[in-house]
Amino acid sequence: MAQNPFDLSGKVALVTGANTGIGQGIAVALAKAGADIVLTARRDPSETRQLVEAQGVRAHVVMADLSSTEPCERIVSETVEAFGRLDILVNNAGIIRRNDALDFTEDDWDAVMDTNLKVLFFLCQAAGRRMAENGGGSIINIASMLTFQGGIRVASYTASKSGVGGLTKLLANEWAAKGINVNAIAPGYIATNNTAALQADSDRNRQILERIPAGRWGEPDDIGGAAVFLASDAARYVQGHVLAVDGGWLAR
């Protein structure tokens, strides 16, 4: 093991959904650890790119809409063309649709399942093929508290994130012997643009904080630290694990 097992210098990391929030936090954390970063997003991730390059590493942007599998091979190919290799994949891109289960539509089911589970798998596959050829790598899928819990009014999101947990284990079973570590991170309540409405709702915010033993919302940096660990040699014997980064939410 390297003298500093958390050092990612010389590694190339691909992060999806990297323009804001958790994706941005992970990209910057991996950059601070020394990795060059390829940012994939539907909207221009220029802010994230600036934050990454400020760490003294290289950044490259691949614009892609991950609502279908069409760009999966292209994303991986452009990553390898830009930086010569692919060592780390972080599948962060995801969407959510809300409705009562009695009223949930097929469109809202398909849209979420396609992005959160189907596209995630085929991007893992495209990256995994390159990693297998090159002696290994690390794949980190972003799961959810709803990988463990049911939630309400988010039928397709809960189903997709439960599927992410299962796929993570399946891929670890198949690819560990190829030198590919496959794990997942399940974020708790993280202070991002996506949760701004919850934070602004005084009653709901109070209920959430009362449940979290740490007594605070998480920050994207909290997820970034977990990603650095799982991407590094420090986690070389960690396989098929879903790491909850939740301030103790699941323990309550």
Range 12-192+220-239 classified under CATH 3.40.50.720: yes
Q: Indicate whether 246 pLDDT > 70.
A: yes
- Average pLDDT, integer, range 223-241: 98
Q: For residues 7-27, give the mean pLDDT.
A: 97
Among all residues, which ones are annotated catalytic? Answer: 157
Q: How many residues does this entry show for the chain?
A: 252
* pLDDT one-digit tens code per residue, 42-75: 999 999 999 999 999 999 999 999 999 999 999 9
Q: Is the pTM of this model over 0.95?
A: yes
Question: Could you tell me if 140 and 231 are in contact, meaning their C-beta atoms sit under 8 angstroms apart?
Answer: yes
45: its two tokens: 């991730």
Distance CA 215, CA 209 (A): 5
Cα–Cα separations (whole angstroms), residue 181 to 52, 82, 143, 174, 203: 24, 23, 16, 10, 41
Domain map (residue ranges) of the chain:
12-192+220-239
Residue 2 confidence class, pLDDT cut points 50, 70, 90: low
Residues 6+ apart with CB under 8 A from 25: 219, 220, 221, 222, 223, 224
CA 199/CA 240 separation, integer angstroms? 32
Mean pLDDT of all residues in 189-206:
91
